[in-house]
Amino acid sequence: MKRFRGLIVEINRQCNFSCFFCPVPIEKTKKELPLTKIKELLESKEVERYVLKRNGKFIYLGIGGGEPLLHSSINEIIELFSNKSGYVVLSTNLSKIPDGFMDVLASHENVIIQVSLHASNPELFKTITRVDAFMFVLNNIRRLIERVGSRRVLVNTVVSEKNEDDVFNIFHVLRKLGVSKLRLHPMIVDGRAYTISPAKLKGIEKEIIEKDLPFEVELVIPESDGEIAYITMDGVLSNNLFTAYKKDLK
Ligand code: SF4
C-alpha cells in the first residue's frame, strides 16, 4: 500500500478568479468545509492509513481550494495545520488579505505561502484569470514579503500557450518584488496532455540554466501519481489533484 509524504486539503470551492485552466469546480457563492469537518478529515481513518506521519505529526500539509483566503475560518485553519504538521504550504491568488492573516502568519514560522502569478502585466493577467487584479496581487506580494520575509514566499506560475512567451518577463517582475523562489508548472488539463510543447519546455529549462538567474526556479513536471495526496471537500482522497474528481483511493 502506498503511503503519501503529504496531503493537500481542499478547504473551499469558492474563488474570486476564473482561471481558464482551473481544475476545481469553482463556485462563486460561499462553499466551504467548516473547521470542525476539516479537523475530522485530518483525523479520519483514510488519512491515517494513506498519509505518513513523523513523531505524531504530518510531514507536509497543503491548504488548497478554491481560494483559501475567502474561507471564513482561514486564520484558525492556518493555526490548526501549523500545529499538526512539520511544514505547511498555503496556496493562494493573494488578491485579498483577510483581517488578522498577516499576524497569524508571522507567528507560525512553518507556513509557506505559495502565490499564483501567471503573467507579468495586467492585460495578460486578465486574459488568464478573467479578473482585473494584477496590481492588487503585486502589492500584496510586496506586503507579504515585508511582513514574513522572502524565505517563506513562493510564486507558482502555470505555463500554458497563453503565457509561455511571458515567463522571463515574470522573472523580472518577481525579482523587483524581492521574490526568491518560483515554481513553474506546465499546464495539464485533467491529466490529458501538456498544452505547451515539450520542445518549448526544454527551451525554458535551458534558458533558466544559462541565464544563471539570481533566484531559485523549479520546473515541476506533473506526474499522474504524485508523492502528495489530495483530498476534496467531499472526502475523496486521490493521488493527484487532476484525478481528485474521478478517482477515490478508499
Ligand atoms: S485562483 Fe486557483 S482556484 Fe481560483 S480559479 Fe484560479 S486556479 Fe482556480
Buried-exposed string 165-188: b where 16+ CB fall within 10 A, e elsewhere: ebbeebbebbeebebbbbebbbbb
What was the pLDDT predicted at 249? 42
User: In degrees rounded to 5, what are phi and psi of residue 226?
Assistant: -85, 175
What was the pLDDT predicted at 210? 80
Evaluate whether residue 91 is within a structural domain: yes
Residue whose CB lies within 8 A of the most ligand 1 atoms, among 27, 67, 69, for a mutation test: 67
CB 11 within 8 A of CB 63: yes
Residue 157, domain CATH: 3.20.20.70
What was the pLDDT predicted at 192? 46
Evaluate whether residue 160 is within a structural domain: yes
Evaluate whether residue 195 is within a structural domain: yes
Quote the ligand 1 centre to 164 CA distance (angstroms): 19
Q: How far apart are the first and last CA of the chain?
A: 12
What was the pLDDT predicted at 215? 76
Evaluate whether residue 96 is within a structural domain: yes
10-residue mean pLDDT series, the chain (250 residues): 89 94 81 95 93 95 96 98 97 97 97 96 97 97 96 92 90 90 75 62 78 76 73 86 52
Evaluate whether residue 250 is within a structural domain: no
Quote the ligand 1 centre to 86 CA distance (angstroms): 26
Please state the domain count of the chain: 1
Quote the ligand 1 centre to 66 CA distance (angstroms): 6
What was the pLDDT predicted at 1? 67
Q: Which atom of ligand 1 is nearest to the CA of 158?
A: 7
Q: Which atom of ligand 1 is nearest to the CA of 116?
A: 1
Nearest CA to 14 out of 89, 77, 92 is that of: 92
Evaluate whether residue 193 is within a structural domain: yes
The C-alpha atoms of residue 45 and residue 41 are separated, in whole angstroms, by 9
Evaluate whether residue 249 is within a structural domain: no
What was the pLDDT predicted at 132? 97
Domain with 195, as residue range(s), is 6-243
The pocket around ligand 1, CB under 6 angstroms, is made up of 15, 17-19, 22, 24, 26, 65-67, 93, 116
Nearest CA to 110 out of 133, 141, 136, 89 is that of: 89
Nearest CA to 70 out of 25, 23, 17, 116 is that of: 17
Quote the ligand 1 centre to 126 CA distance (angstroms): 13
What was the pLDDT predicted at 94? 98
Nearest CA to 187 out of 174, 171, 200, 170 is that of: 200
Evaluate whether residue 248 is within a structural domain: no
